[in-house]
Amino acid sequence: MARIVMKFGGTSVADIDRIRNVARHVKRETDAGHEVAVVVSAMAGKTSELVDWTRQASLIHDAREYDAVVASGEQVTSGLLSIVLQSMGVNARSWQGWQIPIRTDNTHGAARILDIDGSELVRRFGEGQVAVIAGFQGLGPDNRIATLGRGGSDTSAVAMAAALKADRCDIYTDVDGVYTTDPRIEPKARRLKKIAFEEMLEMASLGAKVLQVRSVELAMVHKVRTFVRSSFIEPDAPGMGDFDNPPGTLICDEDEIVEQEVVTGIAYARDEAQISLRRLSDRPGVSAAIFGPLAEAHVNVDMIVQNISEDGTKTDMTFTVPSSDMEKSLAVLEKAKDAIGFDVVQSEPGLVKVSVIGIGMRSHAGVAATAFRALAGKGINIKAITTSEIKISILIDSAYAELAVRTLHSVYGLDKT
């Protein structure tokens, strides 16, 4: 017997038939004797409808009222799923964030979970009751509903799993796991059986839209074994009830991954723009002079590369921003030109960042060189490179995006065997 948190997103609970399907997944686990807490999102489209109403009401609005309106979506799903579970003979009840309570900070609209009292839920597990929890929300210090912001239900689920000391947090979604790369680009992409938290964090932030970054961070901190699996597979399909080896991808501590590959996956992000400042005076504070004003303008700077210039007295600074922020960034830089003191600014939108990710590269030399050689062999020009312990990111022309992904996927041996 294990304790499991199961999380279902909006497309998995889009209508009553889909909710019935979710209930069958839950019943499979309770029939197997497991203790289950379910975390649900709003029915697909409902959150957008509610958000849209708050905008119609006023473009600038009180985040606390926004929270009261928008949190109602998950409330509805929690009640409906409880009703369906009961009709299938499963002892279930709904829980709103304020009832548990899930305590958050006061940042309405993007609150952080501070504390969860899971004691009553655990007591009821002992009575065979399933907890159906409205995701995406908690209770602020002002005794008002606070929502967690984007992807909040994933975060709710992981936080509940940590609070309940669950053996696993199963995230049911519309994909059946985490792949070595995007299967739409490389049909030979393989579903990973396991991936380390750190790797998943890089995959998530680089455009593999399976899990929100925040929930992976939380899972890593609390060592919550998080399992990504599909709600669209029939609940009683072969293997679905296999606790030790169900179909999907386990995100876990690297210690749990016995045979670590050097490279785990290839991620990519489109619509990057490159900005280069040439012949900056090489003095302390020049980085702050550049990136301070950009941060104030809410530009999200990603890769940053600094080179010494030819003569050794000047420096070049290259960085990337979302293409949509390029014009704004250039205007900010122009305004701060005197304070920064640069000679020439160059920019190029519409680039692609391809990243090679793997914890194994820590202990393997030459991983980067392999990438550069492989891309050179296909005639792909590299515009910028940044590296971390477990990642190599390469900026290239968007025309070469698919070719680069496939080339790297193959050269690191990730293709299906």
DSSP state of 255: G
- Bridge partners of 196, per DSSP, are 252
In the complex, minimum distance from the CB of residue 57 to a copy of itself, in angstroms, rounded to a whole number: 4
Does the annotation flag 209 for ligand binding?
Answer: yes
Does the annotation flag 328 for ligand binding?
Answer: no
| Interacting residues with a copy of itself between 308 and 367 (CB under 8 A) | none
Does the annotation flag 120 for ligand binding?
Answer: no
Does the annotation flag 412 for ligand binding?
Answer: no
Does the annotation flag 243 for ligand binding?
Answer: no
| Interacting residues with a copy of itself between 127 and 156 (CB under 8 A) | 143-145
Does the annotation flag 179 for ligand binding?
Answer: yes
Does the annotation flag 103 for ligand binding?
Answer: no
Task: Work out whether 60 is an interface residue with a copy of itself (CB under 8 A).
Answer: yes
| Interacting residues with a copy of itself between 11 and 50 (CB under 8 A) | 16, 19, 50
In the complex, minimum distance from the CB of residue 82 to a copy of itself, in angstroms, rounded to a whole number: 5
Residues near a copy of itself (CB under 8 A), total: 38
In the complex, minimum distance from the CB of residue 160 to a copy of itself, in angstroms, rounded to a whole number: 18
- Residue 15: count of CB within 10 angstroms of its CB: 11
In the complex, minimum distance from the CB of residue 153 to a copy of itself, in angstroms, rounded to a whole number: 16
In the complex, minimum distance from the CB of residue 142 to a copy of itself, in angstroms, rounded to a whole number: 10
Instruction: Tell me phi and psi for residue 352, to 5 degrees.
Output: -130, 140
In the complex, minimum distance from the CB of residue 49 to a copy of itself, in angstroms, rounded to a whole number: 10
- Residue 396: count of CB within 10 angstroms of its CB: 21
Sign of CA dihedral 67, 68, 72, 74: positive
Task: Give 119 or 313: the residue with its C-beta nearer to a copy of itself.
Answer: 119
Which residues are CB-neighbours of 47 under 8 A, at least 6 positions away? 10, 41, 70, 73
Instruction: Tell me phi and psi for residue 298, to 5 degrees.
Output: 60, 35
In the complex, minimum distance from the CB of residue 44 to a copy of itself, in angstroms, rounded to a whole number: 14
* Identity of residue 107: T
For residues 241 and 250, give the distance between their C-alpha atoms in angstroms, rounded to a whole number: 15
Does the annotation flag 118 for ligand binding?
Answer: no
For residues 153 and 156, give the distance between their C-alpha atoms in angstroms, rounded to a whole number: 5
Does the annotation flag 366 for ligand binding?
Answer: no
Q: For 240-295, where are the E strands, in sequence order?
A: 249-252, 265-281
Task: Give 14 or 32: the residue with its C-beta nearer to a copy of itself.
Answer: 14
Taking CA atoms, 277 is separated from 84, 311, 318, 337, 385, in Å, by: 60, 16, 6, 10, 16
Task: Give 16 or 221: the residue with its C-beta nearer to a copy of itself.
Answer: 16
Task: Give 62 or 334: the residue with its C-beta nearer to a copy of itself.
Answer: 62
- Interaction mask 65-104, a copy of itself, x per CB under 8 A: xxxxx-xxx-xx-xxx-xxx-xx-----xx-x-xx-----
Task: Give 88 or 339: the residue with its C-beta nearer to a copy of itself.
Answer: 88
In the complex, minimum distance from the CB of residue 76 to a copy of itself, in angstroms, rounded to a whole number: 5
Instruction: Tell me phi and psi for residue 275, to 5 degrees.
Output: -125, 130
Does the annotation flag 126 for ligand binding?
Answer: no
> Cα 338–342–345 angle (5° rounding)?
115
| Interacting span for a copy of itself (CB under 8 A) from 4-12, 53-61, 381-389, 390-398 | 53-61
Q: Which of 48, 57, 141, 308 binds a copy of itself (CB under 8 A)?
A: 57
In the complex, minimum distance from the CB of residue 25 to a copy of itself, in angstroms, rounded to a whole number: 16
Answer yes or no: are the C-beta atoms of 357 and 390 closer than 8 Å.
yes
Does the annotation flag 314 for ligand binding?
Answer: no
Which residues are CB-neighbours of 359 under 8 A, at least 6 positions away? 196, 198, 199, 254, 257, 260, 264, 390
Peptide bond preceding 293 in cis form (omega within 30 of 0)? no
For residues 409 and 41, give the distance between their C-alpha atoms in angstroms, rounded to a whole number: 34
240-262: burial string, b at 16+ Cβ within 10 Å, e else: beeeeeebbbbbbebeebeebbb
In the complex, minimum distance from the CB of residue 47 to a copy of itself, in angstroms, rounded to a whole number: 12
| Interacting span for a copy of itself (CB under 8 A) from 57-65, 289-297, 303-311, 372-380 | 57-65
Does the annotation flag 47 for ligand binding?
Answer: yes
Largest pairwise CA distance in the chain: 78
* Identity of residue 118: G
Binding residues, as ranges, are: 7-10, 47, 74, 173-174, 179, 184, 209-210
> Which parts of this chain interact with a copy of itself (CB under 8 A)?
16, 19, 50, 53-54, 56-58, 60-62, 64-69, 71-73, 75-76, 78-80, 82-84, 86-87, 93-94, 96, 98-99, 143-145
Binding residues for substrate, as ranges, are: 47, 74
Binding residues for ATP, as ranges, are: 7-10, 173-174, 179, 184, 209-210
